[in-house]
Each structure stands twice: as C-alpha cells, then as structure tokens.
Amino acid sequence: MGKPKSFKIACAGIVALGLLTGSAVAQTSLRMAVETSPGDPLNLMLTTFKDELAATAGADFAVEFFEGGSLGDETALTEMLRVDRVQVVPLGSDIVQMDHHFAVFDAPFLFDNKDEARAAIDGELGDLLKATLRQRANLHVLGFGELGFRSVSNNTRPINVPADLAGLKIRTPGSETRILAFAMLGAAPTPMALGDAYVAMRQGALDGQENPLSVIEEFSLYEVQKYISLTNHVYSPITLAMNGKTWDTLSDEQKAKVTAAAEIAGQKTRELSDAKDAELVAFFESKGVAVNSPDIAAFQVAAEPIHAEIAKFVTPEFMAQVKAIVQ
C-alpha cells in the first residue's frame, strides 16, 4: 500500500527546507567595519570592496556593513579583527599594533613620490608585509589602497624647516614610531583619536595635526587650522585585511573573487588620492588657509637619525630589505 499523498508532500517539504537551510549555512558571514564616513579613502576602500563582492560573489557571503565608527575607532576595530568579531577592516596607521614591521612607513621621506611607493607596495615590499602580517597577527592582506602622503597643519606658523615644529602640539595616530618621529623633530606629538582632533584644535588643546589632504578635507580639519604645510613626510597605505581563519575557510574560487574585489577597491582609493591632491590646495586656500611648500631637503637631513631609530623598531634587517627595494 502506497504512502498517503499528504505524507509525500510533507517529506518533499522537509527535503526542500533542508536544501534551503544548507544553502544559507554555506554562506560565509562577513562583518565589515570602518571608522570613517562616506567620502573618506578608508570608507571608499571598504564600500567599493563590498559592492564589488556583491556583484561577483553575492550568493557566497552574508555581509554586515558598519561605518562611521559605529563599532569603534580604528584601534578598537583592529583588535576586533584579530579576535574575529569582525572579518574585514581597512587599516591605516594603527596596523602597527598588529605588526611592528608596518612602522617602516613612519620613516620620513622613505619614498620620493607616489609612483615609487605604489610600485614597492604592489611588488616585493607588499609581499614582505603580507607574509609578516599573516605570521604575526593571523591577518590576511586582501589588498593595498592609498591614503597618500601626509602634510602638517597647525594654527601657529607655517612649517618651512624642521625647527618650525618646535614645541607644537601635533595630533598623531597611536603609532609609537610616528610619535617618535615627531618628537625627534622637536614637536610635542599627542596621540588621539582622529574624531576628537577637530574639537581639540578648535579649543586650543592641540596646535595641529598631520594627515593626507583628503583626510584634512573629509574631517573638516581645515576649518580650525590657519596653515597647511605640504611636507609629504610619510606615505600612508591602506591595508585591507581579513581575519586569517575566515580566509582559510574560503574556496579557491571565493579567494580569487575576494582578491579581485580588493584590487578594484585599492585602485579606486589611488584615483581619489590623485584627484584630491590636484584640487585640494586651491580649495583650502579658498577657505582662507595658507598653504606652503617647505624646504624638503632640510627635512630629509633631519630624518636620517629617525630612520636609524625606526630600524631598531622594525629590525635593521627588515629596514635594509625595504631600502634595497625602494632604492
């Protein structure tokens, strides 16, 4: 005697539900987070990555996206990434908390121009950093983007030579070597969350800060600064990192799609950097900010002892490798 029709329908429903459940479980959960808001290079890197991934591998991933520091600042996000509470974060200078080798970017005037920096990061230097970050922090580098060269702004005087930095309270990231560099140049470096810098400068608790021009615009820092000096003292990349355990769960096809999305995102940030550098000097001047080009040769001489100190931090062997690549 055959099974009742209702029994067959019920079985079919259970099988279908199982298939749907299996499909949902097969999706990899990706919590992505960034400290900054739309328009900022870090935000652009992550947003572009998310959108590209949705277009090429949307069925493979269940994405949650957090921006504007809703989960914390970059320092907090770095730790959350390490312990797998979030899976993808674009990191700026605070990546040195995970791997001290990234402090090599705090060596002033390591690169002469963007082309030189990009070639190194896209080549052997990038490979070195990817390997050491995975080994030390179990983070996988999906790709590199660009914040760009950093300039100094302040409310006291234009910076033409290193002596002009003397005594100025300059906001820096938490990077130990960035703090060291500005201290050796005679400033009073003050590590602080970037989101707090505007009010601190407006109230006089800080004299100035140092950031790429695009960040100075995005955070409206020019509104509370009289001078911007185009020091171009360090080049800051963006490191789009994924938790290593998450990376290891991906198929080869998924890894290829994720990497391709990151490459597109990185290129977008470089295009933004070039566009902003071309237009922002005139913009800042139109807002009443005095913009000047310092004596870079004088700064390069002053930077030599800083390189020696940073070499102790990243190891002399690693610094020698980097300089061989760059030079």
Structural domain range at position 129: 95-326
Q: Is residue 6 part of a domain?
A: no
Q: Domain total for the chain?
A: 1
Q: Is residue 321 part of a domain?
A: yes
Question: Which backbone phi and psi does 150 adopt, to 5 degrees?
Answer: -100, 145
Q: Is residue 227 part of a domain?
A: yes
Pairing, β 208-212 against β 139-154 = antiparallel
**What is the C-alpha to C-alpha distance for residues 183 and 29, in angstroms, rounded to an integer?**
43
CATH number where 256 lies: 3.40.190.170
Q: How far is CA 162 from CA 92, 158, 230, in A?
A: 25, 11, 13
Q: Is residue 24 part of a domain?
A: no
Q: What are the tokens at 223?
A: 């509104």
pLDDT of the residue at 20? 43
Per residue of the chain (327 residues), give pLDDT as tens: 455 554 444 444 444 444 444 444 479 999 999 999 998 999 999 999 999 999 999 999 999 999 999 999 999 999 999 999 999 999 998 899 899 999 999 999 999 999 999 999 999 999 999 999 999 999 999 999 999 999 999 999 999 999 999 999 999 988 899 999 999 999 999 999 898 999 999 999 999 999 999 999 989 999 999 999 999 999 999 999 999 999 999 999 999 999 999 999 999 999 999 999 989 999 999 999 999 999 999 999 999 999 999 999 999 999 999 999 998
Q: Is residue 88 part of a domain?
A: no
Name the amino acid, one letter, at 239. T
